[in-house]
Amino acid sequence: MSAPLLMIVDAANVVGSVPDGWWRDRRGAAERLRDMLVPYADDGVPGFPGPLEVVLVVEGAARGVSSVAGVRVDSAPGSGDDRIVELAAEAAGRRCLVVTADRELRDRVGVLGAEVTGPRTVRP
């Protein structure tokens, strides 16, 4: 049996897509997003049926958010975008979906063969 689709979520970009005061508590916003992602591990997202391996990449003030069942949190040591590119490169030969609206990041992971979708896929 092949590995499930790897869904890598750009926490900073997805959290920043909704002006709900996230900037006052970046870590709390990342934790709320992490918790919203849990059902997608089993159920999938539109166009990508589950199960999925869900990885939430955090950076800056959100570093240190812990993983929970269904969502692995990866604290980028530097740039979150660079870590997402590394994860997509490591997934070579495996189906990979990156959730971000960042155009440059979309291009960087696209050349690695990753599929890309926007924040509304996981945060309607």
Looking at residue 8, what is its pLDDT? Answer: 98
Whether residue 1 has pLDDT greater than 70: no
* Per-residue DSSP letter, 86: H
Look at residue 16 in the predicted model and tell me its pLDDT.
92
pTM: 0.96
DSSP E strands in the chain: the ranges are: 5-10, 44-45, 48-49, 52-58, 71-75, 96-99, 115-117
Interacting residues of 72 by C-beta distance below 8 A, sequence separation 6+: 53, 54, 55, 56
Greatest alpha-carbon span in the chain? 44
ω into residue 51 within 30 of 0, thus cis? yes
Question: What is the rounded distance in angstroms from the CA atom of residue 118 to the CA atom of residue 25?
Answer: 23
17: which 2 tokens? Answer: 């897509």
What is the β-pairing status of strands 96-99 and 5-10?
Answer: parallel
Each residue of 24-65: pLDDT tens digit? Answer: 999 999 999 999 999 999 999 999 999 999 999 999 999 999
pLDDT at 19: 87
Q: What phi and psi values does residue 3 have, to the nearest 5 degrees?
A: -65, 150
